A and B are shown apart, each in its own frame.
Chain A
Amino acid sequence: MNWLDYNTQVVAGATALLGAAAGLAGCLLLLRRRALMGDALGHATLPGIAGAYLVSVALGGTGKEPWALLAGATVGALIGVVSVLAIRRGARVSDETAMAIVLGSFFGVGTALLTVIQATPGGHQAGLSSFILGHAASMVASDLRAASIVAVICVVLVVSLTKELRLLCFDTSFASSLGRPVRSLDALVLIIVTAVVVAGLQAVGLILILALLVLPATAARLCTDRFTTMLPLAAIMGSVSGVGGTLVSSFAPRLPTGPCIVLVAALLFVLALIFAPRRGIIARTLASRTFASRTLAPRAPEPHS
């Protein structure tokens, strides 16, 4: 990898690991029919980040300590999750509505706080808005470490709990009739997603992280009918997106890394949509043609006797 500078290697490594974790977490969200949860979580990090900045400054800090900002993001995301669950239960609305409410209102609060911060002395230099669209080029070795920790935890949990997660996603009420800890497993899925979202803030930002959760998982779903194949496939597609996007942006330095990663993920999705066996557009067109030619073919005229 001599042709890549050290910084690009760090970014590529981090985004590859992050992509793998996002692929796995995305599969769980998708199959649990909670894809929007990734988005709600992502947007809920913004007020957390802004709040952490304000607290840090109030305590005499610079407001730029990365650990403080990421801790704030985590707290924001977790409050977001709890709010979704509370709204769904309290207001008796669907998952989707509850997630939309949290997504919108948390992001609104975050944007308002950001505006306030930018009006304060030193506030516009805080670089908080880089979390919205990500700023991968600024990633350093410690970010790579954080991404690897998140990825390893993700893989270990998903692999060791595959059987339970599959049951949870497929048939929750049967799972709880068996006495499986359905709530804890659901919470675990959301914690994994939160970890991925927070770890991905710097690379792709809080808006585009949804794409990295959903695109590889959906593409993998198109390519296979097996849960146990879908998960590793989504992880690989997420990694390829991470590395691919980093390389593209390193060759075209004016292109930001986060959007490039998402574009590669979208490209993989489109390729899966077209070429996937059985579910792809080509396979389905061929299948329906064969079916039509078999059933609708004009019969040879019957000989008159």
Chain B
Amino acid sequence: MTGHSPATHHTQHRAVGCEHSEKSPLSIHALTVAYHRKPVLWDIDLDVPANSIVGVIGPNGAGKSTLLKACLGLIPISSGKVSVFGKPYAQQRALVGYVPQRESVDWDFPVTALEVVMMGTFGQLGLFHRAGKRERAKACEALDGVGLADEANSQIGQLSGGQQQRVFLARALAQSAQLYLMDEPFASVDAATEQSIIAVLRRMRSEGRTVIVVHHDLETAREFFDWVILLNTRVIAAGATAQTLTHERLRETYGGRLTLLDEAAQRMQKAQLG
């Protein structure tokens, strides 16, 4: 791959210094992922700070989902290294929870909300070991935690989109992990659901967990995240939200397209207010 200039765009804030820290929940070093020899992620270097809610922000096709999947070993990586609390992911599965995109599964599948949430406990169970009372209790507690205790026995297809998203969140809670990777948990949910989801994420943070969220909406990003990663194949910037989520950096991330939209939106807002 020629024509690539690694140094110029690397403006990452290193919250924990240049040495990859053992303490970092997620430490990524020189990660490159390619499909058909076309790089989707290029030379990613990151140390995610512990005990925070981190947003991954970037345009469509920037590699946001790919980043999560590469960290979880769901897709092959071309080069680089990912470590979770200082060790390879395969050794740390029990510490990591995952929320895939809602559209990635068939919501007409014949299972109840509780059965889906119980899947979060399977990581601790042997292949032939059945889920028992303990797993059920854990799943009930997780469902209660997202306010869906009443829907435990509903078939998942009968739930609204926001409720389905919260079922996925509950399944992640049932994993009792330390680091969570969530792929667009706020996608197409209403404002009330958005608030209830962020409340759950904040509760997780207060318990010392770290949550990494692929996110689309720039308006809410400032409010939701302690730390952001601006991604467009490369890491454009990563660091504390206030310093990183600047107009300039966003323009760099979205390659100019955003500015037009952004300005148009701002003008419309002003017009509405005035």
Contacts and interface: CB of A to CB of B under 8 A. Distances in A.
Interface stretch (B26-34, B49-57, B104-112, B219-227): B104-112
A224 B112 CA distance: 12
A181 interface: yes
B119 A177 contact: no
A163 B74 contact: no
B98 interface: yes
A176 B93 contact: no
Given A173-B74, A227-B115, A164 B109 contact: no
Nearest to B101: A173
A230 B122 contact: no
Contact of B104 (A173, A176, A181): A173
A289 interface: no
Contacts of A230: 110
Interface residues of A, number: 26
A225 B170 CA distance: 21
A178 B110 contact: no
**B contact residues, range:** 20 to 34
Contacts of A167: 119, 122
Interface in B115-142: 115-116, 119, 122-123, 125, 127-131
A34 interface: no
A116 to B, nearest CB: 41
B111 A227 contact: yes
B58 interface: no
Contacts of A164: 122, 127
A177 B116 contact: no
Given A177-B72, A177-B98, A179-B90, A169 B122 contact: no
B98 A224 contact: no
Interface in A224-238: 224-227, 229-230
Contacts of A221: 110
A302 interface: no
Interface in A163-216: 163-164, 166-167, 169-171, 173-174, 176-181
B109 A169 contact: yes
Nearest to A179: B93
A225 B110 contact: yes
A288 interface: no
Given A166-B115, A167-B119, A174-B119, A227 B110 contact: yes
A89 interface: no
B69 interface: yes
A227 B109 CA distance: 8
A177 B96 contact: yes
Most buried by B among A167, A173, A177, A180: A177
A174 B106 CA distance: 13
Given A173-B100, A178-B122, A161 B109 contact: no
B40 to A, nearest CB: 15
A167 B115 CA distance: 10
Interface in A143-164: 160-161, 163-164
Given A174-B98, A179-B93, A161 B110 contact: no
A105 to B, nearest CB: 26
A33 interface: yes
Contacts of A161: 127-128
A6 to B, nearest CB: 39
B155 interface: yes
A224 B129 CA distance: 25
Contacts of B96: 177
Contacts of B119: 166-167, 170-171, 174
Most buried by B among A170, A174, A176: A174
30 contacts: A31-B109, A31-B110, A33-B106, A160-B128, A161-B127, A163-B129, A163-B130, A167-B122, A169-B109, A170-B105, A170-B106, A170-B109, A170-B119, A171-B100, A171-B104, A171-B105, A173-B74, A173-B100, A176-B73, A177-B73, A177-B98, A179-B90, A179-B93, A224-B110, A225-B110, A225-B155, A225-B157, A226-B112, A226-B155, A227-B111
Closest CB pairs A-B (n = 10): A225-B155, A177-B98, A178-B123, A177-B72, A179-B93, A227-B110, A171-B105, A170-B109, A225-B110, A167-B119
Given A174-B98, A177-B96, 19 more contacts: A163-B130, A163-B131, A167-B119, A170-B105, A170-B106, A170-B111, A170-B116, A173-B69, A173-B100, A174-B119, A177-B72, A177-B73, A177-B74, A178-B122, A179-B90, A226-B155, A227-B109, A229-B110, A230-B110
Interface of A: 31, 33, 160-161, 163-164, 166-167, 169-171, 173-174, 176-181, 221, 224-227, 229-230
